[in-house]
Amino acid sequence: MSTFLISVGVGLSTAAILALSAVAFTLEYAVSRIANFAHGEFLTIGAYAAYSGQAIFHQNVAAAALTAAVAGMLAGLALNAGVIEQFRGRSAITVLIATLGVALIVQNVLIMVYGAANVSYSFAQGGLHHIGPFLLTTSGIEVIFSALAVAGLIYVLLQYTRFGKAVRAVSQDRALAQVSGIPAQRVVMGTWALAGAISGFAGFVLADTIGTFGPQLGFSFLLLTITAAVAGGIGRPYATLGGALIVGLVIQIAGTYTSSAYQLVYAFLLLVVLMLFRPNGVFVRRSSTAVRV
Amino acid sequence: MYWVSIVTEAGIFAILALGLDVIWGWAGDFDLMFYGYLALGSYMTFVLTIGKPTPPVEYIIGGHLPVLVSMVVAIAVVVAFAAIIGAIALRNLREIYFAVTTLGAVSALYLIVENYTPLFDGYNGVYGLINPGQTALNLTYNGYRILLLVVVLLLLALAYLLVQRLSRSPFGRMLRSVREDERAAAAYGRNVFFSKYRAYLFGAAFAGLAGGLFAIFVSAFNPSAWTPQELLVIYAAILVGGRGNPRGVILGVFVIYIGLIELTRFLPSPASRPDFGPALRQVLIGLMIILMLRFRPQGFFPERPGVDPGPRPAGRRPWRLRVPAMAASSDTAAASPATTPASPEAASARQAADEGGAG
């Protein structure tokens, strides 16, 4: 039983990182109607930016996190302006292949700059704490709380600000939002900046949790991110949080009882089950099985 | 010998690309699993041919079959595996959902092969020299490499003839009609799932064959040989050559492989950064994918409208539509003979390369 609870605890911090990444992915989908396969690279860029910055900031975790978020934001803006907007009106699959090309470029530019070998941060992980039935490290707790804080921030932003209202309008129908006087292009830009910042931060947190990371960090996290987004229903930010919780717990618990190397295998099985039976997310009462985007 | 190696490798990848083009170019399914089929074909050819493993090396089967038999069995295994993946991924999932599912499948397969050593010896991979007939033919190593090149090129020619024939057959046109508009094709009585499924298995068989040839060519195979990046090179080659046009695809592969390798061979690669050159090559491939998709999605040799002119009127020169697909969107409707009435394939294949079939 205690093994189970510990894995639930670790699953919670996995789920927290996953939630950040998946919400960003789903926001990108919501405004641009594309699946961004270069999404993982936002995380990688954030992680490497913090890695470069830690020489300057030393042990200042907050500054490193901020660096990661800013780098992710710039990457989000660049991707949207440089690729996504250039492909407006093209089919979703065309844009997907293009973003896959972007992912290839980013990964290999990082190899050229930092080398293919793994790097690691030197931030202290902190001691172990018993919290209720769970066993967590200090940074694990920080991860969970920062994810909750960011999730709360996103909720307030989307629900109570003019920008959030505009984002929701654009995600419903970009053309209609445009003729209603909403500067759709600026809103889409803003959303990509937001998604990039969230992902950059998530990348920093992920890298810090794993310990060592390489240029493949984000891309190998992409499948988990997409699974979480599909579990919640792609394009629905709040449901995605729930989806991330489900995916994070399932892979962590299943991984604990077999081997953690197979986590992605469970993610894939979960993804297949979701795709076949609930392609529009587990929180929709009845979902049509015929998915044609 | 250097050139023999490069051309052999390009030939193997051209066979692979022809198979992928059936799935992506004709049927329109963006499959990320595809390179996994080459890997599976390669692994299976090894474990069926090179005999029992000596500890600590471990892998399944360890047969001692003649290499031709192993390759046929390997292809059968690959097709069977593709039958499972295809049954899951093709039934209801399309476009990005299909891509995501196949990405998941290849990631899962990769992790299992890498971590579960009893299967194919995990990260170390399997190796063994496969050289059927070298002693019988009394060939030197170099002579054997040339023989391999000839065999690969012959197989490529056969594969091309098969694909070319199929491309203009009712099956090829049905696939294109399904790609362009599933509902319309279904309304005309085409079984959408089954036609896509057959294309998928057909393409996977090519990947199995290429995998077997690759096993003979490199005589070692491990997980680092089939990272997802390798597949993007094939997609880039198809994009450059012309999606849906077998001749363009083969040309694309040769240009990309030989051109890129030759171009980047002489780049300075600092001793401290051995990864620099290969990484730069990947960056170029990524750029090429994006630029091709943006500015010339139909490739440099676009898919030609496969309109069957029908029975030829007596006494007239047999003719084919040679209109480039780009310009063919509306005017071929008038030009195409009415001998194939209400054929949805004919109607939709015209628009084939408008968006590279992607839109």
Instruction: Give the residue from chain B lying closest to A280, CA to CA.
Output: B97
Window A:239-278, CB contacts with B under 8 Å: 259, 261-262, 264-265, 267-269, 271-272, 275-276
This complex has an ipTM of: 0.85
Q: Does residue B70 form part of some domain?
A: yes
pLDDT bin (cut points 50, 70, 90) of residue A166 is very high
Report which of residues A124 and B275 the model is more confident about: B275
Give A228's contacts (C-beta < 8 A, 6+ positions apart): A18, A19, A21, A22, A240, A243, A244, A246, A247, A248
pLDDT bin (cut points 50, 70, 90) of residue B123 is confident
Q: Does residue B336 form part of some domain?
A: no
* Rg of chain A, C-alpha, whole Å: 18
Residue B52's domain comprises 2-226
Q: Does residue B205 form part of some domain?
A: yes
* Rg of chain B, C-alpha, whole Å: 21
Q: Span A183-209, mean pLDDT?
A: 91
Q: Does residue B157 form part of some domain?
A: yes
Report the number of distinct structural domains present in chain B.
Answer: 1
Instruction: Give the residue from chain B lying closest to A113, CA to CA.
Output: B276
Q: Does residue B348 form part of some domain?
A: no
Asked if A112 reaches chain B (Cβ–Cβ under 8 Å), the answer is: yes
According to DSSP, residue A120 is labeled: E
Least confident span in A121-130, A164-173, A246-255, B65-74: A121-130
pLDDT bin (cut points 50, 70, 90) of residue B343 is very low
- Going along chain A from its start, the domains and CATH numbers come out as 2-277 (1.10.3470)
Pick B111's closest partner by Cβ from A93, A264, A279: A264
Q: Span A106-126, mean pLDDT?
A: 83
Euclidean distance between CA atoms B141 and B198, whole angstroms = 40
Check whether B345 has a pLDDT greater than 50. no
Euclidean distance between CA atoms B157 and B149, whole angstroms = 12
Do B280 and A35 count as a contact with CB atoms less than 8 A apart? Answer: no
Check whether A292 has a pLDDT greater than 50. no
Pick B97's closest partner by Cβ from A109, A267, A275: A275
d(CA B110, nearest CA chain A) in Å:
9
pLDDT digits (tens, 9 = 90+) for B138-195: 778 888 888 889 999 999 999 999 998 888 888 888 888 888 888 888 888 888 888 8
d(CA A176, nearest CA chain B) in Å:
22
Q: Does residue B294 form part of some domain?
A: no
pLDDT digits (tens, 9 = 90+) for B40-61: 999 999 888 887 777 777 788 8
Euclidean distance between CA atoms B37 and B203, whole angstroms = 10
d(CA A212, nearest CA chain B) in Å:
19
Full DSSP string of B25-93? IIS----SSHHHHHHHHHHHHHHHHS-SPPTT--BS------HHHHHHHHHHHHHHHHHHHHHHHTTSB
Euclidean distance between CA atoms A230 and A254, whole angstroms = 19
Check whether A291 has a pLDDT greater than 50. no
Check whether B338 has a pLDDT greater than 50. no
pLDDT more than 90, % of chain B: 27
Give B143's contacts (C-beta < 8 A, 6+ positions apart): none
Taking all residues of chain B, what is their mean pLDDT, rounded to a whole number?
A: 80
Q: Does residue B118 form part of some domain?
A: yes
Q: Does residue B290 form part of some domain?
A: no
Closest of B346, B29, B353, B320 to residue B170, by C-alpha: B346
Euclidean distance between CA atoms B324 and B347, whole angstroms = 16
